[in-house]
């Protein structure tokens, strides 16, 4: 599978078909803009595509939730079955532990297959526990608390790469790593920028030389821009100071210079979508393609229980 679908046709079109192996993607946005949800959707879509698929996630923020991936999977099955039954079940994954499936109504178990029922007793869909666990076993998640942890974890990926005959870890996600660099070194530290550039350079090489899809997510920080276009991320804007506040991604230049694709995510109010009442639950998002340059550089999508969908 050389192209990983996001689940949204509009977002796939913006990314020229989806997330491609051999490229480095930088996806950034404010908190709640859908970065982690998008990464979990992509991880699920790739992990379920093949028994040989392996996804490695370096989580520097702690927002990754395996039970959310299981929820996406179950809700997607529910939607695919065309049932009006209850919401998709949730599950939790421990270190080698089982999955605890919650249900809206009663349930019965036959071997390794659970039958979910809606409140009126109608069968909703079948969930094969072995299938769910097999998919989750292909997704490796490691928590990074320090900058050195990130580099050490990448060394572990190297060993996995050779363990699976160069065909295993073909999708790598590094969540919110620039925040760790800023926390340890500060936003203006030359050493911090140098080590971050080293990381991004290494990730770009991995993408190209090992034909791996790599995603780096990042947050945003407020900067002050004066009338001459000078940006100072340490300045606090004051009314009447002649400085305009602007949001940019954390340690932007050190991250962007190595990315093949640069995408900004934003959460929109439902009233901002063509003046219609779409997305009254407030789950409408916008993706803006900043790099490479494109004529049609925006896409709208929603995040629902089953994941990323078109509005």
Q: What is the pLDDT of residue 127?
A: 56
Q: Do the Cβ atoms of 136 and 69 come closer than 8 Å?
A: yes
Q: Look at the pTM and tell me if it is higher than 0.85.
A: no
Beta bridge partners of 173: 57, 215
Q: Do the Cβ atoms of 285 and 267 come closer than 8 Å?
A: yes
Tens digit of pLDDT for each residue in 187-224?
Answer: 889 999 999 999 999 999 999 988 899 999 999 987 64
Q: Provide Rg for the chain, Cα atoms.
A: 21
What SS3 state is found at 169? Answer: strand
Give the Å distances, CA to CA, from 305 to 74, 76, 96, 162: 9, 8, 26, 36
Tens digit of pLDDT for each residue in 130-167?
Answer: 888 889 999 999 999 999 999 999 988 877 666 655 55
CB under 8 Å to 309, separation ≥6 — which residues?
7, 8, 301, 302, 303
The class level of CATH for 3-60+144-309 reads alpha beta
Judge whether residue 281 has pLDDT over 50. Answer: yes
DSSP class of residue 242 equals: S
DSSP class of residue 282 equals: S
Annotate 100-120 with b (16+ C-beta within 10 A) or e (fewer): ebbbeeeeeeeeeebebbbee
What is the C-alpha to C-alpha distance for residues 127 and 73, in angstroms, rounded to an integer? Answer: 10
Q: What is the pLDDT of residue 311?
A: 87
- What phi, psi does 251 have (nearest 5°)? 50, 50
* Domain residue spans of the chain: 3-60+144-309, 67-134
**Residues making up the chain, counted from first to last:** 311
Judge whether residue 92 has pLDDT over 80. Answer: no
Q: What is the pLDDT of residue 222?
A: 75
Q: Do the Cβ atoms of 146 and 33 come closer than 8 Å?
A: no
- On average, the pLDDT of the chain sits at 77
CA 92 to chain centre: 19
Q: What is the pLDDT of residue 269?
A: 64
Tens digit of pLDDT for each residue in 1-39?
Answer: 579 999 999 999 999 999 999 999 999 999 999 999 999
């Amino acid at each position: 599978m050389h192209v990983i679908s996001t689940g949204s046709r509009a977002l796939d079109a913006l990314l020229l078909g989806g997330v491609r192996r051999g490229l480095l993607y930088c996806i950034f946005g404010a908190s709640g803009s859908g970065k982690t949800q998008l990464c979990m959707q992509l991880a699920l879509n790739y992990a379920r595509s093949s028994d040989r698929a392996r996804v490695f996630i370096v989580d520097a923020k702690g927002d990754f939730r395996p039970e959310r991936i299981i929820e996406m999977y179950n809700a997607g099955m529910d939607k695919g079955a065309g049932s009006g039954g209850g919401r998709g079940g949730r599950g939790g994954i421990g270190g080698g532990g089982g999955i605890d499936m919650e249900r809206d109504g009663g349930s019965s178990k036959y071997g390794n297959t659970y039958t979910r029922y809606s409140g009126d007793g109608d069968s909703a869909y079948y969930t094969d526990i072995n299938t769910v666990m097999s998919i989750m076993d292909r997704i490796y998640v490691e928590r990074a608390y320090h900058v050195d942890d990130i580099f050490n974890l990448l060394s572990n990926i190297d060993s996995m790469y050779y363990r699976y005959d160069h065909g295993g870890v073909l999708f790598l996600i590094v969540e919110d790593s620039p925040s760790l660099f800023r926390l340890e070194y500060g936003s203006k530290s030359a050493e911090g920028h140098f080590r971050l550039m080293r990381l991004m350079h290494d990730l770009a090489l991995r993408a190209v030389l090992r034909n791996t899809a790599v995603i780096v997510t990042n947050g945003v920080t407020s900067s002050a821009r004066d009338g001459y276009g000078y940006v100072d991320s340490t300045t606090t804007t004051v009314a009447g100071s002649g400085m305009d506040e602007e949001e940019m991604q954390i340690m932007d230049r050190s991250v962007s210079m190595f990315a093949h694709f640069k995408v900004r995510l934003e959460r929109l109010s439902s009233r901002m979508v063509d003046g219609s009442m779409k997305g009254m639950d407030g789950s409408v998002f916008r993706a803006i393609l900043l790099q490479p340059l494109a004529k049609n550089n925006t896409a709208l999508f929603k995040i629902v229980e089953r994941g990323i969908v078109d509005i």
